[in-house]
């Protein structure tokens, strides 16, 4: 008798608020990768109309939540902390992935969820260039604790679009612990993988850090936008790239890895 194993399709909650503007792209990316995403406004969760426990993945997408008033992601972070913080903590304790992309990354660090839970130990401040950076960057993949970047080549390209992506740690001890715990998922770099300053590091981020994971590896935040790199033809140089025989881009690989986590 032939036995077939089918991949479980995880239910993915794409949480949005006023100012979120990458939720539809993120929803489409997860659907393309084989998940079952749903865009949900945070008010529906606060009112109890939608239960976070009914989902397997939580995603906070990019955008300008609440106009980035005060600082990028701060208002959204406070809303999470004071209204649904217990729900998110339980979600994480159950071993369910939480993904923050760009503004979502800013929300996770300012809510004290990344890199270490309980209190804020890093922030994402104004770019060192003092301007909005909107372009493709090279990223050096690190051997981190996260399972979502396995199978990637040493250097990839993804687009960034932010004004406040400069990662700053509370002190040197926090940075040292992040490094020792292998929480850095990738770093801004030159095309050959060497770590360099601006313009390769678009925001002046400490140690060229472009994304972080939690100790479990299942909570991940990143400034680049994988949802904007789903297909090779999205890349500005796709017709010259050595991978041009492959339809999908590195952004798709990330979303597929998250979905494959539930095999």
Looking at the annotation, which residues are catalytic?
102, 225, 227
CA–CA dist 163, 234 (Å, integer): 22
Does residue 251 contact residue 225 with C-beta atoms inside 8 Å? yes
Cα distance between residue 168 and residue 249, in whole Å:
29
Beta strand residue intervals within the chain, DSSP E = 11-16, 36-41, 57-60, 98-101, 122-125, 133-141, 155-162, 166-169, 184-189, 209-213, 219-222
Give the length of the chain.
Answer: 263
What distance in Å separates the CA atoms of residue 209 and residue 185, rounded to the nearest whole number? Answer: 8
Cα separation, 88 vs 65, whole angstroms: 18
Task: Provide the pairing of β-strand 184-189 with 155-162.
Answer: unpaired
DSSP 195-213: ---TTTSSS--GGGEEEEE
Separation of alpha carbons 223 and 2, rounded Å: 45
Instruction: Tell me if the bond preceding 199 is cis, omega within 30° of 0.
Output: yes
Among residues 53, 226, 218, 73, which one has the least CA distance to residue 147? 218
The CA–CA distances, whole Å, from 140 to 2, 23, 112, 187, 195 equal: 43, 26, 26, 5, 8
């Amino acid at each position: 008798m032939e036995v077939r194993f089918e991949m479980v399709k995880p239910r993915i909650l794409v949480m949005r608020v006023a100012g979120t503007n990458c939720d539809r792209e993120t929803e489409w990316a997860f659907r393309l990768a084989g998940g079952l995403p749903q865009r949900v406004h945070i008010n529906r969760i606060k009112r109890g109309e939608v239960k976070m426990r009914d989902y397997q993945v939580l995603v906070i997408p990019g955008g300008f939540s609440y106009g980035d008033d005060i600082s990028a992601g701060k208002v959204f972070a406070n809303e999470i902390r004071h209204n649904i913080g217990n729900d998110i903590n339980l979600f994480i304790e159950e071993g369910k992935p939480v993904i923050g992309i760009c503004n979502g990354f800013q929300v996770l660090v300012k809510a004290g969820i990344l890199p270490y839970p309980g209190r804020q130990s890093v922030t994402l401040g104004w770019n060192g260039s003092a301007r909005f950076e909107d372009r493709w960057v090279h990223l050096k993949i690190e051997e981190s604790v996260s399972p979502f970047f396995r199978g990637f080549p040493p250097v990839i390209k993804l687009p960034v679009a932010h004004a406040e992506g400069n990662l700053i740690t509370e002190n040197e001890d926090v940075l040292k612990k992040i490094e020792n715990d292998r929480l850095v998922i990738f770093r801004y770099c030159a095309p050959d993988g060497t770590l360099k300053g601006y313009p390769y590091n678009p925001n002046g981020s400490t140690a060229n850090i472009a994304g972080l994971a939690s100790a479990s590896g299942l909570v991940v935040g990143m400034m680049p936008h994988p949802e904007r790199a789903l297909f090779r033809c999205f890349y500005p140089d796709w017709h010259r790239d050595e991978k041009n025989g492959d339809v999908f881009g590195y952004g798709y690989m990330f979303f597929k890895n998250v979905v494959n986590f539930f095999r």
